[in-house]
Amino acid sequence: MIPDYLSLDIPESDKPRLVIVGGGFAGLELARNLKNGPYQVVLFDRNNYHTFQPLLYQVATSGLEPDSIAGPLRKVFDGFRDFYFRMVKVESIDYQGKTINTPIGKLSYHFLVLACGSETNFFGLEEVKRKAFPLKKVVHALNLRSHILQNFEKAVLTADPLNHQRLMNLVIVGGGPTGVEVAGALGELKLHVLPRDFPDLDFSDMKVFLVEGESRLLGAMGVEAATNAKKYLEQYGTEVILDTVVTGYDGQTVFMNNHQSIESHTLIWAAGVHGNMVDGLPHLVVEKSRILVNEFNQVENVPSIFAIGDIALMKNQDAPKGHPMVAQVAIQQGRMLAKNLKAVLQGKSMQSFKYKDLGSMATVGRKKAVVEFPNGLKFGGFFAWLLWMFIHLISLIGFRNKLVTFVNWVWSYFTYDKGNRLIIRRFDKEKTSPVEAG
Ligand SMILES: Cc1cc2nc3c(=O)[nH]c(=O)nc-3n(C[C@H](O)[C@H](O)[C@H](O)COP(=O)(O)OP(=O)(O)OC[C@H]3O[C@@H](n4cnc5c(N)ncnc54)[C@H](O)[C@@H]3O)c2cc1C
């Protein structure tokens, strides 16, 4: 029962109502491009902020504070007319009745856009899901940061050699950009930061393992980038384990399909994502937890619903298996859909979405990165790292976040230090599953 004092409180309008679920890269770009336009826009998100996921790993490794990578949604939409933001989780859709259902009540729509992104895919490994750390939300990054710092504090107090080693070992699963970036940042902490914080610990005991199922890192990039990333990580002492799949984790021991195991209290899961589904769509339009859409991002056979970003699966000649689940696809689809939704009201035809690949990059700790452009230009090292920093800085939401992040990075560059490593809110993975905490 919904208490009668709660209501979504969206007024009627003479404009058609467009409901957007998700204020991530895709939803935000769509809503921004419909500013004071022909629709009444209602945006739902379970958080009151947009998360800049590419820098979550910096929060987890004490490089940045969480508010540097999160943009308050209400501030973004300051000055928008006939626009309503509601911090509410959308639970399901009634596509025949054209309504969405939330814990606060229902809302009807003329058009609905699903932009709810993706969540961590544990590939059915239930115990891993309960004990490993995902990295999809700000709370995940904060929990992981507390956990890592707590482990070093505990290591100082732990005489038992096995337990000590479990506290000092960190294992990352998944050698894509996220896994590589986390491993690089941990390598940097090990080399430059933690030995100063903990003079009573021997950091040659701190081991970082990166486990990847394929025969090389950074599968979406070229061989050169993969080789460079591995070389940079090994310079930090990271042990890169290729062609190996993690098959289980009981909170203390990581089991692998090569019949070996690693003792560790910390398993960071960066091995994949799948769509973050909302209930109620016909089964036929859902494939591998993503929503099948046509070239206009319109859900197959449900013309009043669109899906954009990670949740959308658009298969075409350019992308027979669908587009990569990256920010640029989400942004470009949001922008294109805004144009198409305006066209619909003007009686014009919609234009097909064409993805413009702007290139790929990944950073590996301090002063090193790998970059690839679609025209074949590729390079690694210091200039790649400078470019990586510039691109990420300009992509952050709001001038304040850009400035604070810039100051942090300059400070870190000159001092070899990181942000304040405070354990404000303790996290106990034995009491709360890291994936559910938030
Ligand atoms: C650690 C990490 C690093 C990454 N690094 C890169 C990178 O370097 N470069 C790159 O291009 N991409 C990167 N990505 C991928 C990129 O972040 C995603 O492709 C992008 O965020 C997808 O945008 P989206 O709008 O589809 O979803 P999201 O940005 O995930 O936004 C989805 C939004 O929907 C909201 N939501 C979900 N369900 C509901 C619901 N039921 N009701 C209300 N709100 C809901 C969520 O709160 C969220 O705000 C990274 C991802 C991660 C996790």
Q: What is the CA(327)–ligand 1 centre distance, in A?
A: 7
pLDDT of residue 41: 98
Q: Is the CB of 312 under 6 A from ligand 1?
A: no
Q: Which atom of ligand 1 is nearest to the CA of 136?
A: 53
List, for the chain, all residue ranges whose pLDDT scores fall below the cut of 50.
none
Spatial distance between the Cα atoms of 425 and 221, rounded to a whole number of angstroms: 37
Ligand 1 closest atom vs CA 362: 8
- The chain-wide mean pLDDT, for the chain, equals 95
CB atoms within 10 A of CB 270: 26
Of ligand 1's listed atoms, the one at least distance from the Cα of 273 is 53
What is the distance in A from the centroid of ligand 1 to the CA of 25? 7
Give the model confidence (pLDDT) of 228-268 as tens digits: 999 999 999 999 999 999 999 999 999 999 999 999 999 99
CB of 310 shorter than 6 A to ligand 1: yes
pLDDT of residue 428: 87
Would the CB of 46 count as within 6 Å of ligand 1?
A: yes
Q: Candidates 53, 73, 269, 278: which one to mutate for ligand 1, based on the most atoms within 8 Å of Cβ?
A: 53
With a 6 Å cutoff on the Cβ, whether 30 touches ligand 1 is no
Angle between the N-to-C axes of helices 25-32 and 327-345, in degrees from 0 to 180, rounded to the nearest 10: 30
Q: Residue 219 Cα, ligand 1 centroid: separation in angstroms?
A: 20
Q: Which atom of ligand 1 is nearest to the CA of 49?
A: 49
327-356 in b/e burial notation, b at 16+ Cβ within 10 A? bbbbbbbbbbbbebbbebeeeeebeebebe
Cα 96 to middle of ligand 1, angstroms: 28
DSSP string, 336-364: HHHHHHHHHHTTPPPPPP------EEEE-
- Determine phi and psi for 109, rounding to 5 degrees: -140, 160
Which DSSP category does 242 fall into?
Answer: -
Nearest Cα to 306, choosing from 22, 1, 35, 78?
22
d(CA 238, CA 390): 26
Q: pTM score, two decimals?
A: 0.95
321, two tokens:
């298996």
Residue nearest to atom 50 of ligand 1 (CA): 54
Taking the C-alpha atoms of residue 326 and residue 318, their distance in angstroms, rounded to an integer, is 16
Question: For residue 26, what are its two tokens?
Answer: 């895709």
Which atom of ligand 1 is nearest the CA belonging to 27?
A: 25
- pLDDT for the residue numbered 438: 62
Does the beta carbon of 225 lie inside 6 Å of ligand 1? no
User: Separation of 118 CA from ligand 1 center, angstroms?
Assistant: 6
Q: How far is the CA of 403 from the centre of ligand 1 (A)?
A: 23
| Residue 51 Cα to ligand 1 middle (Å) | 7
Query: What is the reported pLDDT for 437?
Result: 67
Please name each of the domains of the chain with its CATH number: 17-46+88-120+274-345 (3.50.50.60), 126-271+360-415 (3.50.50.100)
Tokens found for residue 153: 């504090």
Task: Tell me if 313 CB under 6 Å of ligand 1.
Answer: no
56 lines ligand 1 (CB under 6 A): yes
Q: What's the pLDDT score for residue 435?
A: 79
